[in-house]
């Protein structure tokens, strides 16, 4: 095996000197490929075992530009290696096989391969592999710029003072901020103009590093920006860009997991729909994601637009550990019963959604903030129960809800108000109607005071699916659950075992897909203050999924009020969605630490 020193590419000679790692268990092919690549003036390292290859990659961080791997290997499936490399090292990977079946090729692409070559491989095919490296570098450069732009926007949003004017203008500011950022970035373009010459120190995401990353993400929630993750990871040599791009990949991975889980769930059958909530809090405690999923889907289909007894709703929401919630839910539940109104599918839904969540009190729990703070497996119990889960479709939720930067603090704030007249709907709203009612902004349950400010939201909320969710009470209880206090918030969250952040992340990911178009523009404006501002933000989010600095610590409910709408909307949406999505996506919310396990699974070579 030819080994290279820790070499750096020669930028001026690109693509010559490209550092390629070839992995193939067939020694004959290894020899041939090595020779071919050398003829292309690449620096070749060969490896006949996948595990060895991974070790090599981890050892030599930033030692390779591209990996070429066979699909069929004895010690590890080529696709798995592909995933590992993508997540840990973020290198382009080319797959090879003598089998050119469409399904295999598709699988390769799905797992992230940037190309799939059929054996016997011609030299001319290898000559061009540098394009994948080049492409990735260009994308990374763009990502960094976007990250910075987005973060700036989010930071601006965070620092928004509480005042109605504050968030009315925030949209504007965001836009102008973004524009400013763009201009700045353009000046930097020159610097990035030649990606081939930019030697980015490639971070090798070792298992330990990734675990730190996951821990940080779980701690703050997926919605949090890379900066926060970076800070909490405490790895001095890691940059925000490293974290940001890793975060993206991570979300991709989670969303893929989510899809797989959803697929499974759909087969699980939608029985949950009728889980009556005899046990107020515990109903939702369905451990299987399937259950939640089913319930949700069932719920949505059944409930959309119809009155749904809270009972059903609760049961559907399989929130695993809603123990705490259950207690609290009990109250709201009763309140909710009989107050079910048809969820309104309208643009209002967005606001309604927010509100509905608030009502349930549990919704408040959802506050994205809370969710983010929870570890993966934690599921805010309360929220689900109250929610009218019929709509609970992780998918729809995810698509609709765009967990934009949400501010946890906001939630608590709202809850304390306990005047959520319009909250209850949120949940239902979110779940099912995600499609019809784009929930652009999830407003934390506004307090009564807020009501005026959020008048637009309020009434909407009330109208839109108010599923008879106990509002006031629930809100209050939720509020308590979610205490805003920076520290307590976290504490509370933990009690609930919030939905794993990872799930939420997945949702975020999917949420990002929610087209803004769905949102009624007026609604949007309401929420954003300036519709365009939101859209802008939304697009950013779409790209990145909220990475704004998540300040779980935001103390006080005041923040809620000052919440700039764009953020709020986003955040508000998140909670309900989060739960839903979390439930759904997360295959087994039964254990709290499920996500970490899964995560580790990925890295268990």
When asked if residue 49 is in the footprint of another protein (CB under 8 A), the reply is: no
- In the region spanning residues 54 to 73, those forming contacts with another protein, defined by CB under 8 A, are 70, 72
Closest approach, Cβ 99 to another protein, in A, equals 7
CB of 334 to another protein, least distance (A): 58
- The answer to whether residue 487 forms part of the interface with another protein (CB under 8 A) is no
Residue 297: Cβ-neighbour burial (10 angstroms; 0-12, 13-18, 19+): buried
C-alpha dist (Å) from residue 499 to 362, 379, 448, 581:
13, 3, 28, 9
Pairing of strands 66-70, 93-97: parallel
List the one residue from 119, 249, 256, 259 that touches another protein (CB under 8 A).
Answer: 119
CA atoms within 13 A on the CB side of 157: 39
| C-alpha distance from residue 219 to each of 214, 232, 347, 377, 550 (Å) | 8, 9, 33, 12, 11
69 vs 398, beta carbon nearer another protein: 69
Q: Which of 7, 10, 17, 26 binds another protein (CB under 8 A)?
A: 26
Instruction: Tell me which stretch binds another protein (CB under 8 A): 34-42, 247-255, 339-347, 367-375.
Output: 34-42
Shortest reach from residue 68's CB to another protein, in Å:
14
| 552 close to 229: Cβ distance less than 8 angstroms | no
Which of 110, 122, 197, 201 binds another protein (CB under 8 A)? It is: 122
Task: Note whether 488 and 373 are within 8 A (CB).
Answer: no
Reported for 52-58, long-range contacts at CB under 8 A and 24+ positions apart, including other chains, are 53/21, 53/23, 53/81, 54/81, 54/84, 54/85, 54/88, 54/605, 56/21, 57/21, 57/85, 57/88, 57/89, 57/91, 57/204, 58/88, 58/89, 58/204, 58/206
Distance set, CA 72 to CA 75, 118, 119, 121, 126 (Å): 9, 13, 12, 16, 19
Least gap, CB of 120 to another protein (angstroms): 4
Give start and end residues of each alpha helix (H) in 286-424. Answer: 289-303, 310-316, 323-336, 348-360, 362-366, 368-373, 381-386, 394-400, 410-417
Beta carbon of residue 119, minimum distance to another protein (angstroms, whole number): 6
Binds another protein (CB under 8 A): choice among 36, 66, 82, 362: 36
Q: Which of 114-122, 239-247, 330-338, 458-466 is the region at the interface with another protein (rule: CB under 8 A)? A: 114-122
Give me the least distance between CB of 91 and another protein, in Å please.
24
Using CB under 8 A, pick the residue from 97, 359, 373, 415 that binds another protein.
97
Nearest-approach distance from CB 315 to another protein, in angstroms: 43
Residue 52 or 591 with smaller CB distance to another protein:
52
User: Given candidates 106, 123, 263, 597, which one binds another protein under the rule CB under 8 A?
Assistant: 123
* Beta carbon of residue 51, minimum distance to another protein (angstroms, whole number): 18
The piece of 31-39, 173-181, 372-380, 406-414 that touches another protein (CB under 8 A) is 31-39
Answer yes or no: are the C-beta atoms of 371 and 575 closer than 8 Å: yes
* Residue whose C-alpha is closest to residue 254's, from 136, 386, 403, 381: 403
Stretch that binds another protein, among 32-40, 137-145, 211-219, 366-374 (CB under 8 A): 32-40
Q: Of 14 and 29, which CB lies nearer to another protein in the complex structure?
A: 29
- Between 25 and 143, whose beta carbon lies closer to another protein? 25
| 99: contact with another protein by CB under 8 A | yes
Nearer to another protein, 41 or 517 (CB): 41
By CB under 8 A, name the one of 6, 11, 27, 197 that touches another protein: 27
The yes or no reply on residue 39 touching another protein (CB under 8 A) is yes
In 3-state terms, what secondary structure has residue 468?
Answer: coil
Of 280, 258, 266, 314, which is closest to residue 428 (Cα–Cα)?
314
Q: Between 99 and 452, whose beta carbon lies closer to another protein?
A: 99
Give, in degrees to the nearest 5, the angle at Cα 335 between 331 and 340.
140
Q: Which residues bind another protein (CB under 8 A)?
A: 25-29, 31-32, 35-36, 39, 70, 72, 97-99, 119-120, 122-123
């Amino acid at each position: 095996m030819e080994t290279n020193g820790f070499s750096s590419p020669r930028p001026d000679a690109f693509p010559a000197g490209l550092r390629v790692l070839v992995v193939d268990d067939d020694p004959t092919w290894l020899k041939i490929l090595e020779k071919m690549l050398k003829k292309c003036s690449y620096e070749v390292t060969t490896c006949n075992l996948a595990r060895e290859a991974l070790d090599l990659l981890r050892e030599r961080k930033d030692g390779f530009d591209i990996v070429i791997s066979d699909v069929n290997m004895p010690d590890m499936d080529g696709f798995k290696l592909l995933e590992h490399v993508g997540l840990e090292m973020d290198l382009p990977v080319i797959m090879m096989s003598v089998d050119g079946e469409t399904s295999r090729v598709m699988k390769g692409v799905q797992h992230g391969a940037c190309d799939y070559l059929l054996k016997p491989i011609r030299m001319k095919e290898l000559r061009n592999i540098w394009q994948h490296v080049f492409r990735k570098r260009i994308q990374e450069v763009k990502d960094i710029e976007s990250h910075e732009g987005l973060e700036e926007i989010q930071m601006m949003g965070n620092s928004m003072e509480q005042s109605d004017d504050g968030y009315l203008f925030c949209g504007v500011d965001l836009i102008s901020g973004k524009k400013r950022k763009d201009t700045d970035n353009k000046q930097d373009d020159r610097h990035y103009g030649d990606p081939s010459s930019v030697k980015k120190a490639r971070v090798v995401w070792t298992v330990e590093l990734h675990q730190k990353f996951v821990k940080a993400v779980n701690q703050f929630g997926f919605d949090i920006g890379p900066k926060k993750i970076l800070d909490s990871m405490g790895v001095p040599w890691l940059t925000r860009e490293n974290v940001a791009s890793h975060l993206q990949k991570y979300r991709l991975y989670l969303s893929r997991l989510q899809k797989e889980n959803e697929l499974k769930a759909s087969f699980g059958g939608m029985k949950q729909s009728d889980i009556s909530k005899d046990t107020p809090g515990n109903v939702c405690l369905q451990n299987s994601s399937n259950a939640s999923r089913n319930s949700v889907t069932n719920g949505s289909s059944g409930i959309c637009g119809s009155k749904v007894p809270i009972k059903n709703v609760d049961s559907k929401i399989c929130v695993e550990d809603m123990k705490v919630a259950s207690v609290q839910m009990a109250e709201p539940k009763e309140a909710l019963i009989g107050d079910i109104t048809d969820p309104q599918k309208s643009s209002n839904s967005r606001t309604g959604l927010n509100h509905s969540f608030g009502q349930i009190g549990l919704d408040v729990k959802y506050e994205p903030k809370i969710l983010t703070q929870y570890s993966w497996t934690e599921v805010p119990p309360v929220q689900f129960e109250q929610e009218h889960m019929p709509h609970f479709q992780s998918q729809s939720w995810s698509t609709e809800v765009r967990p934009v930067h949400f501010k946890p603090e906001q939630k608590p704030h709202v809850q304390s108000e306990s005047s959520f007249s319009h909250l209850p709907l949120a949940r239902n709203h979110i779940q099912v109607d995600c499609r019809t009612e784009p929930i652009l902004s999830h407003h934390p349950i506004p307090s009564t005071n807020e009501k005026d400010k959020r008048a637009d939201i309020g009434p909407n909320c009330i109208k839109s699916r108010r599923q008879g969710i106990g509002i006031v009470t629930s809100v209050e209880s939720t509020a308590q659950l979610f205490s805003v206090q920076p520290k307590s918030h976290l504490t509370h969250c933990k009690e609930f075992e919030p939905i794993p952040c990872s799930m939420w992340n997945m949702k975020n990911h999917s949420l990002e897909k929610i087209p803004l178009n769905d949102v009624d523009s007026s609604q949007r404006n309401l929420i954003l203050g300036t519709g365009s501002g939101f859209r802008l933000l939304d697009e950013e989010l779409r790209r990145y999924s909220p990475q704004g600095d998540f300040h779980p610590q935001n103390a006080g409910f005041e923040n809620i009020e000052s919440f700039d709408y764009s953020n709020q909307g986003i955040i508000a949406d998140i909670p309900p969605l989060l739960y839903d999505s979390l439930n759904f996506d997360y295959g087994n919310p039964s254990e709290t630490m499920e996500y970490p396990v899964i995560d580790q699974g990925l890295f268990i070579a």
